[in-house]
Protein backbone atom coordinates (compact mmCIF):
# COMPACT_ATOMS: atom_id res chain seq x y z
CA UNK A 1 0.00 0.00 0.00
CA UNK A 2 1.51 3.33 -1.00
CA UNK A 3 0.51 6.95 -0.82
CA UNK A 4 -0.70 6.92 -4.40
CA UNK A 5 -3.22 4.19 -3.47
CA UNK A 6 -5.00 6.74 -1.29
CA UNK A 7 -5.26 9.50 -3.84
CA UNK A 8 -8.27 8.29 -5.79
CA UNK A 9 -10.55 7.07 -2.97
CA UNK A 10 -9.76 10.18 -0.91
CA UNK A 11 -10.53 12.42 -3.87
CA UNK A 12 -13.80 10.57 -4.39
CA UNK A 13 -14.85 10.91 -0.74
CA UNK A 14 -13.78 14.55 -0.61
CA UNK A 15 -15.87 15.45 -3.68
CA UNK A 16 -18.93 13.67 -2.27
CA UNK A 17 -18.69 15.28 1.17
CA UNK A 18 -18.06 18.71 -0.32
CA UNK A 19 -21.05 18.25 -2.64
CA UNK A 20 -23.32 17.19 0.23
CA UNK A 21 -22.18 20.18 2.26
CA UNK A 22 -23.08 22.46 -0.65
CA UNK A 23 -26.52 20.79 -0.86
CA UNK A 24 -25.87 19.26 -4.29
CA UNK A 25 -27.96 16.20 -5.24
CA UNK A 26 -24.80 14.14 -5.58
CA UNK A 27 -26.49 11.00 -6.92
CA UNK A 28 -28.47 12.78 -9.64
CA UNK A 29 -25.43 14.82 -10.73
CA UNK A 30 -23.17 11.75 -10.70
CA UNK A 31 -25.60 9.90 -12.96
CA UNK A 32 -25.80 12.87 -15.34
CA UNK A 33 -22.00 12.87 -15.48
CA UNK A 34 -21.93 9.14 -16.29
CA UNK A 35 -24.35 9.78 -19.13
CA UNK A 36 -21.99 12.42 -20.53
CA UNK A 37 -19.17 9.90 -20.15
CA UNK A 38 -21.00 7.29 -22.24
CA UNK A 39 -21.55 9.94 -24.91
CA UNK A 40 -17.83 10.76 -24.92
CA UNK A 41 -16.87 7.12 -25.34
CA UNK A 42 -19.25 6.48 -28.23
CA UNK A 43 -17.98 9.68 -29.88
CA UNK A 44 -14.30 8.72 -29.71
CA UNK A 45 -14.65 5.02 -30.49
CA UNK A 46 -14.72 5.08 -34.34
CA UNK A 47 -11.57 7.22 -34.71
CA UNK A 48 -9.81 5.32 -31.96
CA UNK A 49 -10.61 2.06 -33.73
CA UNK A 50 -9.18 3.31 -37.04
CA UNK A 51 -5.99 4.68 -35.50
CA UNK A 52 -5.29 1.69 -33.30
CA UNK A 53 -5.72 -0.51 -36.35
CA UNK A 54 -3.14 1.50 -38.31
CA UNK A 55 -0.64 1.65 -35.44
CA UNK A 56 -1.12 -2.07 -34.68
CA UNK A 57 -0.50 -3.04 -38.30
CA UNK A 58 2.60 -0.84 -38.38
CA UNK A 59 3.95 -2.53 -35.24
CA UNK A 60 3.42 -6.03 -36.61
CA UNK A 61 5.05 -5.26 -39.98
CA UNK A 62 8.53 -5.34 -38.48
CA UNK A 63 9.21 -1.83 -39.79
CA UNK A 64 10.56 -0.72 -36.41
CA UNK A 65 13.12 -3.56 -36.24
CA UNK A 66 14.31 -2.90 -39.76
CA UNK A 67 14.67 0.84 -39.19
CA UNK A 68 16.44 0.37 -35.87
CA UNK A 69 18.96 -2.13 -37.29
CA UNK A 70 19.67 0.17 -40.22
CA UNK A 71 20.38 3.20 -38.02
CA UNK A 72 22.36 1.22 -35.41
CA UNK A 73 25.77 2.22 -36.91
CA UNK A 74 24.74 5.88 -36.72
CA UNK A 75 23.72 5.36 -33.09
CA UNK A 76 27.06 3.79 -32.22
CA UNK A 77 28.82 6.72 -33.82
CA UNK A 78 27.15 9.04 -31.31
CA UNK A 79 27.88 6.66 -28.44
CA UNK A 80 24.38 5.26 -28.29
CA UNK A 81 24.08 1.64 -27.15
CA UNK A 82 22.30 -0.21 -29.99
CA UNK A 83 20.10 -2.09 -27.49
CA UNK A 84 18.16 1.07 -26.72
CA UNK A 85 17.25 1.93 -30.33
CA UNK A 86 14.18 -0.33 -30.67
CA UNK A 87 12.95 1.12 -27.34
CA UNK A 88 13.32 4.69 -28.60
CA UNK A 89 11.41 3.81 -31.78
CA UNK A 90 8.69 1.81 -30.03
CA UNK A 91 8.06 4.30 -27.24
CA UNK A 92 5.94 6.82 -29.21
CA UNK A 93 3.64 4.05 -30.50
CA UNK A 94 2.95 1.72 -27.64
CA UNK A 95 3.31 1.95 -23.88
CA UNK A 96 3.01 -1.78 -23.29
CA UNK A 97 5.31 -2.53 -26.25
CA UNK A 98 7.94 -0.19 -24.82
CA UNK A 99 7.69 -1.79 -21.37
CA UNK A 100 8.15 -5.24 -22.94
CA UNK A 101 11.29 -4.07 -24.78
CA UNK A 102 12.58 -2.31 -21.65
CA UNK A 103 12.25 -5.48 -19.54
CA UNK A 104 14.13 -7.31 -22.27
CA UNK A 105 16.99 -4.80 -22.25
CA UNK A 106 17.55 -4.64 -18.50
CA UNK A 107 17.31 -8.39 -18.04
CA UNK A 108 20.24 -8.63 -20.47
CA UNK A 109 22.45 -5.74 -19.44
CA UNK A 110 21.34 -5.30 -15.80
CA UNK A 111 19.35 -2.34 -14.43
CA UNK A 112 22.37 -0.50 -12.98
CA UNK A 113 24.61 -0.57 -16.05
CA UNK A 114 24.93 2.54 -18.23
CA UNK A 115 22.69 1.03 -20.92
CA UNK A 116 20.18 -0.09 -18.28
CA UNK A 117 20.07 3.35 -16.68
CA UNK A 118 19.80 5.03 -20.06
CA UNK A 119 16.85 2.79 -20.99
CA UNK A 120 15.23 3.55 -17.61
CA UNK A 121 15.53 7.29 -18.10
CA UNK A 122 14.24 7.06 -21.68
CA UNK A 123 11.16 5.15 -20.55
CA UNK A 124 10.62 7.26 -17.42
CA UNK A 125 10.84 10.62 -19.20
CA UNK A 126 8.64 9.93 -22.23
CA UNK A 127 5.05 9.35 -23.22
CA UNK A 128 3.27 7.41 -25.99
CA UNK A 129 3.31 10.39 -28.34
CA UNK A 130 1.29 9.01 -31.28
CA UNK A 131 -1.25 7.33 -29.07
CA UNK A 132 -1.82 10.53 -27.09
CA UNK A 133 -2.22 12.65 -30.23
CA UNK A 134 -4.65 10.11 -31.74
CA UNK A 135 -6.81 9.75 -28.63
CA UNK A 136 -6.97 13.47 -27.80
CA UNK A 137 -7.80 14.67 -31.28
CA UNK A 138 -10.23 11.79 -31.81
CA UNK A 139 -12.39 13.47 -29.16
CA UNK A 140 -12.81 16.55 -31.38
CA UNK A 141 -13.84 17.28 -34.95
CA UNK A 142 -10.36 18.56 -35.80
CA UNK A 143 -8.93 17.10 -39.01
CA UNK A 144 -5.74 19.16 -39.31
CA UNK A 145 -3.55 18.86 -36.26
CA UNK A 146 -1.21 21.57 -37.64
CA UNK A 147 2.11 21.71 -35.79
CA UNK A 148 1.23 19.10 -33.13
CA UNK A 149 3.33 16.27 -34.56
CA UNK A 150 6.51 18.29 -35.32
CA UNK A 151 6.43 19.90 -31.86
CA UNK A 152 5.81 16.58 -30.08
CA UNK A 153 8.54 14.83 -32.06
CA UNK A 154 11.01 17.65 -31.38
CA UNK A 155 10.45 16.81 -27.72
CA UNK A 156 11.11 13.11 -28.35
CA UNK A 157 14.28 13.93 -30.27
CA UNK A 158 15.43 16.23 -27.48
CA UNK A 159 14.79 13.38 -25.06
CA UNK A 160 17.26 11.13 -26.88
CA UNK A 161 19.94 13.83 -26.75
CA UNK A 162 19.35 14.92 -23.14
CA UNK A 163 19.09 11.34 -21.84
CA UNK A 164 22.70 10.52 -22.81
CA UNK A 165 23.89 13.84 -21.43
CA UNK A 166 22.28 13.47 -18.01
CA UNK A 167 22.84 9.75 -17.48
CA UNK A 168 26.57 10.04 -18.03
CA UNK B 1 -5.19 12.53 -40.17
CA UNK B 2 -6.05 10.89 -43.48
CA UNK B 3 -2.34 10.87 -44.47
CA UNK B 4 -1.26 9.53 -41.11
CA UNK B 5 -3.86 6.77 -41.29
CA UNK B 6 -3.33 5.65 -44.89
CA UNK B 7 0.45 6.25 -44.72
CA UNK B 8 0.90 3.92 -41.75
CA UNK B 9 -1.14 1.16 -43.38
CA UNK B 10 0.62 1.42 -46.75
CA UNK B 11 4.08 1.49 -45.13
CA UNK B 12 3.05 -1.49 -42.99
CA UNK B 13 2.24 -3.59 -46.04
CA UNK B 14 5.52 -2.68 -47.76
CA UNK B 15 7.60 -3.52 -44.69
CA UNK B 16 5.61 -6.68 -44.01
CA UNK B 17 6.40 -7.93 -47.53
CA UNK B 18 10.10 -7.02 -47.15
CA UNK B 19 10.32 -8.71 -43.74
CA UNK B 20 8.17 -11.68 -44.71
CA UNK B 21 5.67 -10.83 -42.00
CA UNK B 22 2.49 -10.63 -44.05
CA UNK B 23 0.72 -13.27 -41.95
CA UNK B 24 1.54 -11.30 -38.76
CA UNK B 25 0.18 -8.20 -40.48
CA UNK B 26 -3.07 -9.97 -41.28
CA UNK B 27 -3.36 -11.18 -37.70
CA UNK B 28 -2.80 -7.63 -36.45
CA UNK B 29 -5.40 -6.20 -38.83
CA UNK B 30 -8.00 -8.69 -37.64
CA UNK B 31 -7.20 -8.60 -33.93
CA UNK B 32 -6.43 -4.91 -33.44
CA UNK B 33 -10.11 -4.03 -33.72
CA UNK B 34 -10.78 -6.24 -30.72
CA UNK B 35 -8.01 -4.46 -28.84
CA UNK B 36 -9.64 -1.13 -29.69
CA UNK B 37 -12.93 -2.38 -28.25
CA UNK B 38 -11.20 -3.68 -25.12
CA UNK B 39 -9.46 -0.35 -24.67
CA UNK B 40 -12.73 1.51 -25.14
CA UNK B 41 -14.45 -0.62 -22.54
CA UNK B 42 -11.60 -0.07 -20.08
CA UNK B 43 -11.62 3.64 -20.84
CA UNK B 44 -15.42 3.72 -20.66
CA UNK B 45 -15.44 2.61 -17.03
CA UNK B 46 -12.86 5.21 -16.03
CA UNK B 47 -14.34 7.98 -18.17
CA UNK B 48 -17.84 7.41 -16.77
CA UNK B 49 -16.50 7.34 -13.21
CA UNK B 50 -14.61 10.61 -13.63
CA UNK B 51 -17.38 12.32 -15.58
CA UNK B 52 -19.69 11.51 -12.69
CA UNK B 53 -17.25 12.69 -10.03
CA UNK B 54 -16.37 15.81 -12.00
CA UNK B 55 -20.01 16.66 -12.53
CA UNK B 56 -20.57 16.58 -8.75
CA UNK B 57 -17.36 18.54 -8.19
CA UNK B 58 -18.24 21.25 -10.69
CA UNK B 59 -21.80 21.64 -9.33
CA UNK B 60 -20.39 22.19 -5.85
CA UNK B 61 -17.77 24.69 -7.03
CA UNK B 62 -14.62 22.67 -6.28
CA UNK B 63 -13.29 22.85 -9.84
CA UNK B 64 -13.43 26.61 -9.75
CA UNK B 65 -11.40 26.68 -6.54
CA UNK B 66 -8.68 24.34 -7.83
CA UNK B 67 -8.47 26.20 -11.10
CA UNK B 68 -8.00 29.49 -9.28
CA UNK B 69 -4.83 28.08 -7.71
CA UNK B 70 -3.10 26.98 -10.92
CA UNK B 71 -4.63 29.33 -13.45
CA UNK B 72 -2.15 32.22 -13.10
CA UNK B 73 0.71 29.94 -14.17
CA UNK B 74 -1.22 28.17 -16.92
CA UNK B 75 -2.65 31.42 -18.29
CA UNK B 76 0.90 32.34 -19.26
CA UNK B 77 1.04 29.23 -21.46
CA UNK B 78 -2.51 29.09 -22.76
CA UNK B 79 -2.94 32.55 -24.26
CA UNK B 80 -6.46 33.89 -24.63
CA UNK B 81 -8.17 31.05 -22.79
CA UNK B 82 -10.88 32.02 -20.30
CA UNK B 83 -9.26 31.34 -16.90
CA UNK B 84 -12.65 30.56 -15.35
CA UNK B 85 -13.88 28.34 -18.19
CA UNK B 86 -14.47 24.60 -18.11
CA UNK B 87 -11.58 23.97 -20.50
CA UNK B 88 -9.04 25.53 -18.13
CA UNK B 89 -10.58 23.53 -15.29
CA UNK B 90 -10.04 20.24 -17.08
CA UNK B 91 -6.54 21.26 -18.21
CA UNK B 92 -5.62 21.87 -14.57
CA UNK B 93 -7.06 18.50 -13.53
CA UNK B 94 -5.31 16.71 -16.40
CA UNK B 95 -1.94 18.21 -15.49
CA UNK B 96 -2.43 17.47 -11.78
CA UNK B 97 -3.30 13.84 -12.57
CA UNK B 98 -0.25 13.60 -14.85
CA UNK B 99 2.08 14.95 -12.17
CA UNK B 100 0.77 12.39 -9.69
CA UNK B 101 1.13 9.61 -12.26
CA UNK B 102 -2.59 8.81 -12.31
CA UNK B 103 -2.56 7.79 -15.97
CA UNK B 104 -6.08 6.38 -15.79
CA UNK B 105 -7.45 9.69 -14.59
CA UNK B 106 -5.42 12.03 -16.78
CA UNK B 107 -6.68 10.67 -20.13
CA UNK B 108 -10.42 11.24 -19.39
CA UNK B 109 -9.60 14.76 -18.10
CA UNK B 110 -7.55 15.38 -21.22
CA UNK B 111 -10.35 14.24 -23.50
CA UNK B 112 -12.81 16.45 -21.63
CA UNK B 113 -10.39 19.38 -21.90
CA UNK B 114 -10.14 18.90 -25.68
CA UNK B 115 -13.92 18.88 -26.05
CA UNK B 116 -14.26 22.04 -23.96
CA UNK B 117 -11.46 23.74 -25.91
CA UNK B 118 -13.33 22.88 -29.09
CA UNK B 119 -16.46 24.58 -27.75
CA UNK B 120 -14.76 27.64 -26.27
CA UNK B 121 -12.41 28.35 -29.15
CA UNK B 122 -14.79 27.35 -31.98
CA UNK B 123 -12.15 25.27 -33.73
CA UNK B 124 -12.93 24.34 -37.31
CA UNK B 125 -11.19 21.43 -38.98
CA UNK B 126 -7.94 23.12 -37.88
CA UNK B 127 -6.70 22.63 -34.34
CA UNK B 128 -6.33 25.85 -32.33
CA UNK B 129 -2.97 26.88 -30.85
CA UNK B 130 -4.13 26.03 -27.36
CA UNK B 131 -5.31 22.57 -28.45
CA UNK B 132 -1.91 21.86 -30.01
CA UNK B 133 -0.07 23.13 -26.95
CA UNK B 134 -2.21 21.04 -24.64
CA UNK B 135 -1.67 17.84 -26.64
CA UNK B 136 2.07 18.55 -26.89
CA UNK B 137 2.22 18.93 -23.09
CA UNK B 138 0.62 15.51 -22.81
CA UNK B 139 3.08 13.89 -25.22
CA UNK B 140 5.86 14.86 -22.82
CA UNK B 141 6.19 13.12 -19.49
CA UNK B 142 4.97 15.16 -16.52
CA UNK B 143 5.06 12.32 -14.03
CA UNK B 144 6.99 13.21 -10.87
CA UNK B 145 7.69 9.65 -9.69
CA UNK B 146 8.45 7.09 -12.45
CA UNK B 147 6.78 4.25 -10.56
CA UNK B 148 6.56 1.74 -13.42
CA UNK B 149 10.25 2.06 -14.26
CA UNK B 150 11.24 1.84 -10.60
CA UNK B 151 9.08 -1.27 -10.12
CA UNK B 152 10.65 -3.03 -13.12
CA UNK B 153 14.17 -2.04 -11.99
CA UNK B 154 13.45 -3.47 -8.55
CA UNK B 155 12.14 -6.68 -10.08
CA UNK B 156 15.40 -7.08 -12.00
CA UNK B 157 17.54 -6.67 -8.87
CA UNK B 158 18.57 -3.03 -9.10
CA UNK B 159 20.60 -1.86 -6.09
CA UNK B 160 18.96 1.59 -6.20
CA UNK B 161 15.78 1.56 -8.30
CA UNK B 162 15.06 5.22 -7.62
CA UNK B 163 18.50 6.66 -8.40
CA UNK B 164 17.29 7.51 -11.91
CA UNK B 165 14.91 10.05 -10.37
CA UNK B 166 17.10 13.13 -10.83
CA UNK B 167 18.06 12.33 -14.45
CA UNK B 168 14.40 11.61 -15.20
CA UNK B 169 13.41 15.04 -13.82
CA UNK B 170 16.14 16.85 -15.71
CA UNK B 171 15.43 15.03 -18.97
CA UNK B 172 11.64 15.46 -18.63
CA UNK B 173 11.97 19.17 -17.90
CA UNK B 174 14.38 19.72 -20.79
CA UNK B 175 12.20 17.70 -23.18
CA UNK B 176 9.06 19.56 -22.14
CA UNK B 177 10.78 22.92 -22.62
CA UNK B 178 11.95 22.00 -26.12
CA UNK B 179 8.50 20.72 -27.11
CA UNK B 180 6.66 23.80 -25.79
CA UNK B 181 9.12 26.23 -27.41
CA UNK B 182 8.83 24.39 -30.74
CA UNK B 183 5.02 24.51 -30.49
CA UNK B 184 5.10 28.25 -29.73
CA UNK B 185 7.50 28.94 -32.61
CA UNK B 186 5.60 26.87 -35.16
CA UNK B 187 2.20 28.35 -34.31
CA UNK B 188 3.19 31.58 -36.07
CA UNK B 189 2.99 29.98 -39.48
CA UNK B 190 -0.63 30.63 -40.51
CA UNK B 191 -1.71 27.17 -41.58
CA UNK B 192 0.73 25.29 -39.43
CA UNK B 193 2.12 22.30 -41.20
pLDDT in tens, A139-152: 888 888 899 999 99
Of B124, B175, B174, B166, the residue nearest B145 (C-alpha)? B166
Q: Is the pLDDT of residue A168 over 80?
A: no
Q: Return residues 162-191 of B near A (CB < 8 Å).
A: 164, 167-168, 170-172, 174-176, 178-180, 182-183, 186-187, 189, 191
What whole-number distance in Å separates Cα of residue B12 and Cα of residue B33? 16
Q: Is the pLDDT of residue B192 over 60?
A: no
- Indicate yes or no: CB of A155 within 8 angstroms of CB of B176: yes
% of residues, chain A, pLDDT over 90: 32
Q: What is the mean pLDDT of the segment spanning B179-193? A: 79
Residue B126 pairs with which residues in a beta bridge? Answer: A144
Q: Return residues 116-135 of A near B (CB < 8 Å).
A: 116-117, 120-121, 123-127, 129, 132-133, 135
Residue B154: partners with Cβ closer than 8 Å, 6 or more residues away: B161
Residue B142: partners with Cβ closer than 8 Å, 6 or more residues away: B95, B98, B99, B172, B176
Of B19, B56, B187, the CB nearest to A147: B187
pLDDT reported for residue A129: 92
Q: Is the pLDDT of residue A3 over 80?
A: no
> Which phi and psi angles does A126 have, rounded to 5°?
-130, 170
Report yes or no: A60 and B12 within 8 Å, Cβ to Cβ. yes
A47-90 pLDDT, tens digit each: 778 877 887 888 888 887 788 788 778 777 777 888 888 889 88
pLDDT reported for residue A152: 94
Higher pLDDT, B46 or A37: A37
A94-116 pLDDT, tens digit each: 777 788 789 888 888 999 999 99
Q: Is the pLDDT of residue A25 over 90?
A: yes
pLDDT reported for residue A32: 92
> Which phi and psi angles does A67 have, rounded to 5°?
-65, -45
Q: What is the mean pLDDT of the segment spanning A152-156? A: 93
Report yes or no: A34 and B21 within 8 Å, Cβ to Cβ. no
Higher pLDDT, A118 or B28: A118
B81-122 pLDDT, tens digit each: 888 888 998 898 899 888 876 666 788 889 999 999 999 998
DSSP 8-class letter at B127: P
Q: What count of other Cβ atoms lies within 10 Å of the Cβ of residue B127?
A: 27
Q: What is the mean pLDDT of the segment spanning B6-11? A: 87
pLDDT reported for residue B193: 47
Q: Which residues on A lie below 8 Å from B111 (Cβ)?
A: 40, 44, 135-136, 139
What ipTM, to 2 d.p.?
A: 0.77
Q: Which of the four pLDDT bands, split at 50, 70 and 90, describes residue A1?
A: low
pTM of the model: 0.78
Cα dist. A57→B9, B13, B33, B89 in Å? 7, 8, 11, 37
pLDDT reported for residue B191: 55
Closest CA of chain B from A77, distance in Å? 22
Of A126, A145, A154, the CB nearest to B141: A126
Q: Which residues on A lie below 8 Å from B95 (Cβ)?
A: none
What whole-number distance in Å separates Cα of residue B161 and Cα of residue B152? 8
* Contacts across the A-B interface (CB distance below 8 Å): 336
Q: Is the pLDDT of residue B45 over 90?
A: no
Cα dist. A117→A158, B85, B149 in Å? 17, 42, 10
Q: Can you give the C-alpha Rg of chain A in angstroms?
A: 21
Q: Return residues 112-151 of B near A (CB < 8 Å).
A: 112, 114-115, 117-118, 123, 125-127, 131-132, 134-136, 138-141, 143, 145-149
Half-sphere exposure of B157 (CA within 13 A, CB side): 6
Of B25, B101, B183, the CB nearest to A57: B25
- Indicate yes or no: CB of A146 within 8 angstroms of CB of B191: yes
Residue A126 pairs with which residues in a beta bridge? Answer: B140
Please state, rounded to an integer, the average pLDDT across all residues of chain A.
Answer: 85
B22-35 pLDDT, tens digit each: 998 998 888 888 88
Cα dist. B181→A42, A119, B70, B79, B187 in Å? 35, 25, 21, 14, 10
pLDDT reported for residue A4: 56
Amino acid sequence: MSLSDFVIPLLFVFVLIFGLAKKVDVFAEFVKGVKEGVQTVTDIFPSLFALMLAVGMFRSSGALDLISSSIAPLGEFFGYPPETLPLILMRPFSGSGAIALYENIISEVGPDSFTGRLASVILGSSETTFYTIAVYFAATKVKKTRHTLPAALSGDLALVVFATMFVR
Amino acid sequence: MKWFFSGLIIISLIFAVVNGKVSELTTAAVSEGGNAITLCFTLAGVICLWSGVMRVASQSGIIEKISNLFTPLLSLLFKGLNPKGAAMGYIVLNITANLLGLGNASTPFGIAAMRELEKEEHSSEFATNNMVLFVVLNTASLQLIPTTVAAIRLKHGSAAPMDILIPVWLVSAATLTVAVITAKLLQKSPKGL
